[in-house]
Structure 1
Amino acid sequence: MTEQQPSPWNLPNALTVLRILLVPVFLVLLLGHEGLDPLWRLGAFIVFGLAMLTDKIDGDLARRYGLVTDFGKIADPIADKSLMAAALIGLAVIGVLPWWIPVVILVREFGITLMRLVIVRRVVLPASRGGKLKTVLQTVALGLFIVMLPLSTVLPGGVMIAVIVVAWIVMTAAVVVTLVTGVDYCVKTARLLREAGPRR
């Protein structure tokens, strides 16, 4: 007898949908006035932070109250990757990040996601601690780059230099961890597929 799945009409899924809907709002604020208006950039930072907060809350609620659904399993990573892609590409469009950074990160992100979908019927690839660290580093780095312009209008020059240095250190760490965890996922997948044996 299969366990009945909770209704997809629940708060965690509503928060996931909200996060998806916030992506275009975030992009409009980030790209508005060519990314040069401090108030619009501050608005983009607030929306980005709110969206990332819903990611934390919806996952916690779904697990705590047994509200994990098939819809949530599909929509949640779509929402996460859409927001990250919007931030990376948007920052590159307005010249804040060099294009190679979003290319490297997004190729890894969507490549691993595609690999998971291809192998899901044979093996399940669990999330790793490195993957969670990667998400934290990406979120902090992107947040710093988004809010950098508003901060430059209120912080002294010396402090802003420190903020810029920290932002680049965190972004560099995010890129390195993204690549390392990507390679690790590929190695683990190859091992799990060998252990699972040939497809029947």
Structure 2
Amino acid sequence: MNLPNRITLARIFMIPLMMIFLLVDFDFYPSPIQFGDYSLPYNQLIAVIIFIVAASTDGIDGYIARKHNLVTNLGKLLDPLADKLLITAVLVSLVEMGSVPSWMAVVIISREFAVTGLRQVALLDGSVVAASSWGKVKTVTQIIAISLLLLNNFPFAFISIPVDVIFIWLATIVTLYSGIDYFVKNKHLLRQN
């Protein structure tokens, strides 16, 4: 197994660890980080660090695979799967924590599955649905939104601007738009099948 695939697998293995820190209530956690009205439990801080590390490996594994000509079929399967598992796991966790409305999580997750289905149809047709610029914007807005939500809107909590809420709305809108964009640009695949 090559290095990019190992990095992708590491991303997948970070997901349950992140969820444990987010959702399991251990009695031995120290008191939360406090700055005036702002509070962040240590377990949540550890979870956001794991999330950011996991999310950053997405670009790293792809870059290494392309630069060193290590692109494999396993990597083509695992990389998007790892991305979807990471985003789905953290969104479900945020819904359970009461930080994200369930309908937003459903919209974002549904788009991910729909585009994956479209890619599968394309593969059966012998073509590839390439990543779009809107798909990349979607990924960045999702990562920023999730990071801000996990950090309880740090540092914007000090100036009372709900940037985390603004970004999850933006991520939802961009996610929906990018999904529509994929289907409009590849509608020929749906007509043929």
Q: What TM-score, normalized by structure 2, do the two folds share?
A: 0.86
Q: Which runs of 5+ in 2 are unaligned?
A: 33-40
What's the Cα RMSD here? 2.1
Match of 2:90 among 87, 91, 103: 87
Report the CA distance between 1:139 and its aligned residue.
0.5
Match of 1:6 in 2: none
| Larger helix proportion of the pair | 1
How far, CA to CA, are the matches of 1:168 and 1:77 in structure 2? 26
Q: Which runs of 5+ in 1 are unaligned?
A: 1-8
Percentage of matched positions with identical amino acids: 41
1:118 aligns with 2:121: yes
1:12 aligns with 2:4: yes
How far, CA to CA, are the matches of 2:47 and 2:137 in structure 1? 23
How far, CA to CA, are the matches of 1:180 and 1:98 in structure 2? 19
- Amino acid in structure 1 at the alignment position of 2:80: P
Large movers: runs of 4+ above 6 Å: none
Q: Which moved more, 1:111-120 or 1:130-139?
A: 111-120
3-state SS of 1:126 partner: coil
C-alpha contact 2:156 2:163 (8 A) present in aligned 1: no
Q: What TM-score, normalized by structure 1, do the two folds share?
A: 0.83
- In structure 2, relative to structure 1, the CA distance for the partners of 1:181 and 1:157 (3 Å cut) is closer
Match of 1:28 in 2: 20
After superposition, the C-alpha distances for 1:116-169 in whole angstroms (9 at most, x for unaligned) are: 1123122321110000000000000001101117x4xxx69643x22xx11111
Match of 1:5 in 2: none
After superposition, the C-alpha distances for 1:160-192 in whole angstroms (9 at most, x for unaligned) are: x22xx1111111111111111111111112135
Superposition pairs for residues 23-172 of structure 1, below 5 Å? Answer: 23-33=15-25, 38-122=41-125, 123-148=127-152, 151=154, 158-159=158-159, 161-162=160-161, 165-172=162-169
Aligned positions, number: 180
C-alpha contact 2:149 2:164 (8 A) present in aligned 1: yes
Indicate the structure (1 or 2) with the bigger Cα radius of gyration. 1
How far, CA to CA, are the matches of 1:75 and 1:97 in structure 2? 27
